[in-house]
Amino acid sequence: MKERSVGGTIFDSFNYLFMLVILVLMLIPFVYIISYSLSTPSMMKGGLILFPKGFTLDSYKKAFDDPAVLSGVFISVARTIIGPAAMLLFTSMAAYVLTRAELIGVKFFRKFFVFTLYFSSGMIPMYLLMGYLNLTGTFLVYILPAVISVFNMVLIKTYIEALPRELEEAAVMDGANHFLLFFKIIFPLCMPVFAAVVLFDSVNQWNSFIDTQIYNTMSPNLYTLQYVLYNTLNQINSLEQLKVQGQTEIGALTPQTFKMAITVITVLPIACVYPFLQRYFIKGLLVGSIKG
């Protein structure tokens, strides 16, 4: 045990205090909405609460009885499963091809993809394109533009390049073509990097909000859970406004607990996969920084 100076002890005390403040700032918003969502509306007098008042699951029952919420959950789950699956298949195939230095034109194709990381056409041309392709107002607008992720392509390509080449040489001797070689030999070896990119892609799909706002506002059956939450917040805010102006008695409607419940439902899946996310992400970031 090292000797400790007075200054060091004071520093430690302040440092722990500082970290506790950070913890409070990070956790309080979540603790508050979870507690609120589990409370009985009539018992809420306002102010910050850390524990439910009059514990009840009513607002969750109400949320899951709401057809808009159910439809939102369905659409969000669908895009979170289909999007990353399609991304993995097509992005990893392309990444594999880009590792084949003997392929004619491979340098051109690498530039063709990487260019898109630094340059984009912007919102309006994209909106017009989606309209032109009749993708506006369809589920595919969530999936198709995300099938190829150039960022993930670069990650997967780097990973494949680091694999030992002897493994595939044996397969080539046996006369395997590139499809077989990729799906039978390379694909299973890439599981660690695949797990990471699929996880992040799923989080992105789940969290996406603005594509619904831009392309699908006219199709309520395609609203994602994020969008349903946004709509609920806005409706409740305008009711709030009316209450402030004294035009309505909000007590009977009291959807505050309802909006808290939908918020919790929307965060929950992220919280569930968070342990995996943290592990992969810190590893991924470190790999990136060593290379950089």
Partner 1 sequence: MILKIFRHRELYLMLLPAVVLVFIFWYVPILGWIIAFVNYKPGISLSSAEWVGFQQFKSFFTQSSDYIYLLRNTLAINIGTLISNLFTAFVFAILLNEIRLRFFGRFIQTVTFFPFFISWVIIYSLSNALFAPSSGAINEMLVEWGILNEGINLLGDPQYSWGLMIALNAWKHLGYNSVIFIASIVSIPSDYYEAAEIDGANRFQKIWHITIPALIPTLIVLLILNSGWILNSNFEQFYLFTNGTNWEKIEVLDMYIYKYGLKLLNFPYATAVGIMKTFISLALIIVVNEISKRATGKAVF
Binders of partner 1 among residues 147 to 186 (CB under 8 A) are: 147-148, 150, 153, 177-179, 182
Residue type, 156: I
Q: Give the Cα separation of 233 and 263 in Å (integer).
A: 9
- Of 189-218, binders to partner 1 (CB under 8 A) are 203, 206-210, 213-214
Q: Of residues 39, 59, 80, 91, which one binds partner 1 by CB under 8 A?
A: 91
Tell which one of 13, 134, 235, 278 touches partner 1 (CB under 8 A).
278
Q: How many Å is the Cα radius of gyration of the chain?
A: 25
- What part of residues 39-58 is at the interface with partner 1 (CB under 8 A)? 46-49
Per-residue mark of binding to partner 1, 109-138 (x: CB under 8 A): x--xxx-x-xxxxxxxxxxxx---x-----
* DSSP letters for 145-204: GGS--HHHHHHHHHHHHTS-THHHHHHHHTT--HHHIIIIIIHHHTHHHHHHHHHHHHHH
C-beta of residue 214 within 8 angstroms of C-beta of residue 62:
no
CB of 277 to partner 1, least distance (A): 6
> Per CB under 8 A, does 29 bind partner 1?
yes
**Angle at CA 142, nearest 5°, toward 138 and 148?**
130
- Kindly state the smallest distance separating residue 162's Cβ from partner 1, in Å: 20
Of the candidate spans 66-74, 155-163, 184-192, 280-288, the one that interacts with partner 1 by CB under 8 A turns out to be 280-288
